[in-house]
Structure 1
Amino acid sequence: MTVTFLLRRSKPPTISSVLSLAISSFSTQCFVGRTSSLSVPTEAPPVPKKIPFAISSHGITRQDPYRWMRNTDDSDFIDFLKRENSYAQAFMADTETLRRDLFSEMKTCIPEEIVTPHERWGQWFYRQYIPKGKEYPLLCRRLGKVGEEQVVLDWNQIAEQYGYVHIGVCRVSPDHNYLAYTVDPKGGERFMLQIKDLRSGCLVPRLEVNGVVSLAWALDGITLFYTVTDENQRPHRVVVTNVESDGRGDTVVFTERDSSFCVDITTTKDGLYCKW
């Protein structure tokens, strides 16, 4: 598969992300010089508690006193985040107008549409772009150079459904009939698998599968391999499914039991084999 975004797991750019990067790079020069004039809160910044926790690996033991913060449901952790956010808001209070002006100014320098060149895969040409007035991109394709363009996936529609969207990975089947992708609807980096029939434009009804990390298609176009995470968010298991089924017959084909290793799955460059 040679379509750039379909081969990447990274989050696609949005208008806000481009602006945030620009503002963050500028803020160092802009704000350091005016630190003395900021309305710094009188209270000291919050400091997280330390809980002794030893980790031993390869004969070496190290301490991680902040290990407890991995449990994002911990009431102490949630309270710490609230106090930290309150402190940050108070610290940056007198820069609100400046930040808003910077955002507006930089936005005028960014094209209203962000478009990637078409990339050919077989007889199809794929591209990704952010339409004017939209926050998220569309993945589109056309058959040949003059075919009518089709929307394969619209991030904006998914964002309207969930109020947020983060697409983890996309994979088009070798016969171009299906799109398998993972979506994080809550911002917790826990992705669920969805499969779209590109001929009908509808999602394939399936049992919900969460904690999916990577995807790889077999040559037949209906067999899909995917990896899932354990309770520590470690990709540890490879599962195979028939995308034309409801998912009840999904089969585990490999499990990595050593917690120091993760499992990833991909296809060889010629597309003939899946490997993990």
Structure 2
Amino acid sequence: MNKSSNINSPIAKKIPHRLEKHDDIRIDNYFWMKDRSHPEVIAYLNEENTFYESKTQHTKAFQDDLFEEMKSRIKEDDSSVPYKYNGYWYITKFEKGKDYPIYTRKKDSLNAPEELLFDCNEMAEDLPYFKLVGISISPDNKKVSFGTDTTGRRQYTLQIKCLETNEIYKDLIENTTGSSAWANDSRTIFYTKKDEVTLRANQVFKHVVGEQNNTLVFEEGDDTFGVTVYKSKSKKYIIIACYSTLTNEYHILNANNPTQNFEVFHPRVRGIEYSISHFENHFYILTNKDKATNFKLMRTGEVNRDMKNWEPVVEHRKDVLIEAIDIFKDYLVISERENGLNQIRIKSWDNSEDYYLPFNSETYTCYTTINVEFRTKLLRYSYNSLTTPPSVIEYNMETRTKKVLKEKEVLGGKFDKSNYISERIWAEARDGEKIPMSVVYRKGMKRDGSNPLLQYAYGSYGSTVDPHFSSIRLSLLDRGFIYVITHVRGGEYLGRSWYDNGKLLNKKNTFTDFIDCSIHLIRERYTSSKHLYAMGGSAGGLLMGAVINEAPELYHGIVAAVPFVDVITTMLDDSIPLTTGEYDEWGNPNDKLYYNYMKSYSPYDNLEAKAYPNMLVTAGLHDSQVQYWEPAKWVAKIREYKTDNNQLFLKTNMDAGHGGASGRFESIREDAGEFAFLLALEDITQ
């Protein structure tokens, strides 16, 4: 604690608000914070920010040093590996001292003159937040559609630019997802709009360049579904995808006939998930049909698409999760996961070849990248690990040879991957399940319980946090921290069942897995409770809230980024973005069974008068995923209940949303602030 600052912690006023459901009454004293237009709400957030700034003033110079150190490892004048699409090479680059990407292309050859598509630095000038997404080039290469967001709320304005004159057309479409798909006439685009209140993507429109009218072509009436629209790799179909947690449905339209109506690919069936890819005369379908928990690959003709006509291509396997496919003229590439590890399988269509790319490490991440051409024998994929920076690799599927196109440089002159060790360890959960953890640390680490250790997890939506490289993380490792990714249930690290066993009425497994891994790390003397720290964001912030309610004594400090902590109130409010679409993830609290289960773990509803760890909580005023009032209310209530003298900070970004700051360097400043908080708790100040 900074003893030089005498500013008192903010005390939020209490206005009791009665919430009743299923004859259960909850009193929320901080419900009033939900009104973002109320001056007292903004005043309270600013007061918390002032308190944070005052109490961490002694670390400001260190934060600046950390920022410069992190920044110094990044190659500022950098560019992506070019990829070729429809006769042009496309390149994304950054320039020294600039926060945002620059998008360019070259016709036919990389030696051709460079054409500027977008300079996001110019577009973002004088804006506190800027994000460009959904760059989509028309088939005739003369126009590009794109989406921009200037608040962080993920409500994108869709526009179209003429690449021959650099004129941005007057076509201005608000409140979209930012992405769009061109019909083959190069005049018609299809795009998705969001509900103004819930921000659910629920409508697909057709727009003809230069015309005022937009035609509604599809509307999703089920408020548990969202929609998106895209073009098949074959360029033959415009595809509308309707998605929920457990069910999918697709609609298709020949891209040569944009005035025609979409046809349903196959009507939705509750509990059946599928995705489609088109190649030659078939659709390839990745699906969990017939209880294929880890998914299987099937195919069907373009016309006879009924499920009874779907035929197997790759059968379901109990221990192997199929995550994605890439289709080429001569090869099928299958992205799989077995025993937690990524695998890339290459299979020739004539069945003469079927093999896996060799990866020898026990903790690594690999995935296919941009592969937009059918008629090539070259596959692009990326590889990295906790100790190895990312590489983009080009692999010849015929000759089985590879070429490293680029390995990310770590500048600063101090990084040597041989100085770091990574390993995978397993902890036993209280129900007997083995929980994997990916661990990285500097050589010379001794397991004597004295090491500071940062334990990270997410654990929801089947989202897997793979063991990936981070140059930012080096600032912790080089100061003696051990870093651990905990692959708790709720992700898909060990297959689809790993996800199923960490959601709905199994959600508490996510929390107890994390705690049991913490106990294992302490028992095995990687660290001790005096030096153990935990971090998670969004649904991972929910995880942080749950573990400090159940086992606060295990942790010296917690970083909870934009945490989803007021579970019941949020899930009962169907006007909040994401709520209705997530009933299959968390449960619907209008059902008493789910209500009671949620109430038993909801962090906000389970705070007690006891000691809590040191905590840094972050929020974004314009957050569309986790509304700012959840972390704000949570911190206010913790202040009310906590019996300790530990630090508790709420830091709200008043200009951004769920992802934090938009510039590549501004986001690093946020990392530097979080790391300085943790390091200061270890009395590490340089």
Instruction: Return the TM-score normalized by structure 2.
Output: 0.32
Q: Which residue of 1 aligns with 2:150?
A: 185
- Equivalent residue in structure 2 for 1:243, among 205, 209, 234: 209
Bigger Cα displacement from structure 2, 98-107 vs 195-204: 98-107
1:169 is displaced (CA, Å) by: 2.2
Q: Which residue of 2 aligns with 1:151?
A: 116
Amino acid of the structure 1 residue aligned with 2:207 = T
CA 274–189 in structure 1, closer or farther in 2 if over 3 Å, else same = same
Q: Which residue of 2 aligns with 1:219?
A: 184
1:99 is displaced (CA, Å) by: 0.8
1:211–1:229 Cα contact (<8 Å) kept: yes
CA 184–149 in structure 1, closer or farther in 2 if over 3 Å, else same = same
- Separation (CA, whole Å) in 2 of partners of 1:270 and 1:160: 38
- Separation (CA, whole Å) in 2 of partners of 1:55 and 1:238: 36
1:182–1:192 Cα contact (<8 Å) kept: yes
1:262 and 2:226 are equivalent in the alignment: yes
Amino acid of the structure 1 residue aligned with 2:167 = C
What number of residue pairs does the alignment pair up? 234
- Separation (CA, whole Å) in 2 of partners of 1:227 and 1:62: 40
1:117 and 2:110 are equivalent in the alignment: no
CA 64–239 in structure 1, closer or farther in 2 if over 3 Å, else same = farther
Amino acid of the structure 2 residue aligned with 1:116 = S
Q: Report the secondary structure of 1:204's partner residue.
A: strand
Bigger Cα displacement from structure 2, 154-163 vs 111-120: 154-163
Amino acid of the structure 1 residue aligned with 2:151 = K
CA 178–78 in structure 1, closer or farther in 2 if over 3 Å, else same = same
Q: Which residue of 2 aligns with 1:194?
A: 159
Q: Report the secondary structure of 1:264's partner residue.
A: strand
Q: Which residue of 2 aligns with 1:81?
A: 45
CA 199–111 in structure 1, closer or farther in 2 if over 3 Å, else same = same
Aligned ranges 1:42-121 → 2 under 5 Å: 43-46=8-11, 51-52=17-18, 72-121=36-85
Q: Which residue of 1 aligns with 2:97?
A: 133
CA 138–229 in structure 1, closer or farther in 2 if over 3 Å, else same = same
- Separation (CA, whole Å) in 1 of partners of 2:143 and 2:123: 18
Percent pairwise identity: 27
- Separation (CA, whole Å) in 2 of partners of 1:37 and 1:262: 47
Q: Report the secondary structure of 2:235's partner residue.
A: coil
CA 257–190 in structure 1, closer or farther in 2 if over 3 Å, else same = same
CA 124–51 in structure 1, closer or farther in 2 if over 3 Å, else same = farther
User: Which consecutive unaligned segments of at least 5 residues does structure 1 have?
Assistant: 1-35
- Separation (CA, whole Å) in 1 of partners of 2:96 and 2:207: 38
Q: Which residue of 1 aligns with 2:297?
A: none
| Cα deviation digits, residues 123-153 of structure 1 (max 9, x gap) | 1000101012222110000001221111111
Q: Report the secondary structure of 2:174's partner residue.
A: coil
| Cα deviation digits, residues 86-106 of structure 1 (max 9, x gap) | 222122111111111222233
CA 161–99 in structure 1, closer or farther in 2 if over 3 Å, else same = closer
Q: Report the secondary structure of 1:253's partner residue.
A: strand
CA 199–94 in structure 1, closer or farther in 2 if over 3 Å, else same = same
Q: Which residue of 1 aligns with 2:571?
A: none
1:167–1:182 Cα contact (<8 Å) kept: yes
Q: Report the secondary structure of 1:274's partner residue.
A: strand
2:7–2:51 Cα contact (<8 Å) kept: no
2:2–2:56 Cα contact (<8 Å) kept: no
CA 52–223 in structure 1, closer or farther in 2 if over 3 Å, else same = farther
1:194 is displaced (CA, Å) by: 1.3
Q: Which residue of 2 aligns with 1:167?
A: 132
CA 133–162 in structure 1, closer or farther in 2 if over 3 Å, else same = same
- Equivalent residue in structure 1 for 2:194, among 223, 229, 237: 229
- Separation (CA, whole Å) in 1 of partners of 2:96 and 2:7: 44
Aligned ranges 1:30-45 → 2 under 5 Å: 36=1, 43-45=8-10
| Cα deviation digits, residues 167-193 of structure 1 (max 9, x gap) | 132211222211111111234432111
CA 220–81 in structure 1, closer or farther in 2 if over 3 Å, else same = same
- Separation (CA, whole Å) in 2 of partners of 1:201 and 1:238: 27
What root-mean-square deviation, in Å, do the aligned CA atoms of Structure 1 and Structure 2 show? 2.9
- Separation (CA, whole Å) in 2 of partners of 1:201 and 1:174: 17
User: Which consecutive unaligned segments of at least 5 residues does structure 2 have?
Assistant: 241-686
CA 243–54 in structure 1, closer or farther in 2 if over 3 Å, else same = farther
| Cα deviation digits, residues 49-106 of structure 1 (max 9, x gap) | 67455789xxxx9989688766533444323322221222122111111111222233
- Separation (CA, whole Å) in 2 of partners of 1:252 and 1:55: 38
Amino acid of the structure 2 residue aligned with 1:237 = Q
Instruction: Return the TM-score normalized by structure 1.
Output: 0.74
Amino acid of the structure 2 residue aligned with 1:173 = S
1:46–1:83 Cα contact (<8 Å) kept: no
Q: Report the secondary structure of 1:205's partner residue.
A: strand
- Structure with greater strand share of residues: 2
Q: Report the secondary structure of 1:186's partner residue.
A: coil
2:138–2:186 Cα contact (<8 Å) kept: yes
1:48–1:80 Cα contact (<8 Å) kept: no
- Separation (CA, whole Å) in 1 of partners of 2:198 and 2:114: 42
- Separation (CA, whole Å) in 2 of partners of 1:157 and 1:182: 15
1:209 is displaced (CA, Å) by: 2.1
